[in-house]
Structure 1
């Protein structure tokens, strides 16, 4: 397979993994973008831009599918899945952030583990229009993909071998995800104590 063919196959694989992981959040999509960026930078530094685009496009398509499901299901879906078991003031905060600054709300929901589905469901329930969602999510997905590609490139710059950069990118991305999750749980515990 030619280098160009291998690059296209890697980009198609990245798109598929990120789109699937955006719909069914069990795949480490950020780590996939980081690792692909490391390999792309080793072969052709300009290919990193294509990695960012493929990651962003996959995230966007996955989010659009998830948002469509959330809009179709609405409150009935919320009751069935019991995703939004958050205090009322937290739902109001998410609603306010979605209406005031949808790009940052959608970006943060992608960066915080387990944050994307509740935010998309809240956006669907509060009636965030398709047009506003579509426009805001383009920027949020592009920033998310660029962030994880940068994490991969930082790992690559430290290590001389590409496989070492891939391992470092995976460890950094998964570590950052775990740290964010731990901080979120700690904040939620603190908020529950204040509410009690």
Structure 2
């Protein structure tokens, strides 16, 4: 009974599974209350362990959901005014947003791709892009590439678990563990890099004074 309740939404395929996947990824890309990586990993695992979802469609819908959400977030940052920007960056460190804004001026579309893949990097990047009025003709291709690489990465975690376990429920649970582990590792690496960069930046004035 419990197994049926957990796997039922994905078992319906075109009726529930695909719209649910797209909707959750879209929602989580605008309002970060949904763990979108877990959703994609679980859907891919279910697609491998059961036949009601197709893996190519899982990848496509996850990409489109992430892309649409990112474009909506960018539009809010660009046209929504100061109050909308404050709503977007709630919970974000102000220095992080300023740091990304400076990097964005130099690297442009590469930062959009990296921001999608790194933990807590997406919102500051899109806010910086909106503040700098980054052109849509450059934003859309970069966001599409970023969304595809992101969806592919989390789908692969689901493919790994779904290829090992025949039970859809076990495959989804293992995919969830893999996604959480990868997210924790990348978050730790990103935090250490930011701390190292902050230490280096703090030492620069001292070097200039002694020089």
Q: What runs of 5+ residues in structure 1 fail to find an aligned partner? A: none
TM value normalised by structure 2 = 0.79
Q: CA offsets, 1:42-84, max 9 Å, x none? A: 2339810000111111111111110110001466755674744
Q: What runs of 5+ residues in structure 2 fail to find an aligned partner? A: 1-9, 203-211
Are 1:56 and 2:63 counterparts? yes
Contact 1:74 1:124 in 2 (8 A): no
**Matched residue, 2:6:** none
Contact 1:95 1:123 in 2 (8 A): no
RMSD value over aligned CA atoms? 2.5
Aligned partner of 2:151 among 138, 142, 145: 145
Partners of 1:31 and 1:22 lie apart in 2 by 13
Aligned partner of 2:169 among 145, 149, 163: 163
Shift of 1:106: 2.4
Runs of 4+ in 1 over 6 A off after TM superposition: none
**Matched residue, 1:72:** 79
Partners of 2:97 and 2:74 lie apart in 1 by 22
**Matched residue, 1:25:** 32
Aligned partner of 1:11 among 14, 18, 22: 18
Q: Number of residues paired by the alignment?
A: 189
Structure 1 residues 94 and 141: CA distance shift in structure 2, 3 A:
same
Q: CA offsets, 1:82-122, max 9 Å, x none? A: 74423856532233221xxx1x4323212212110000011
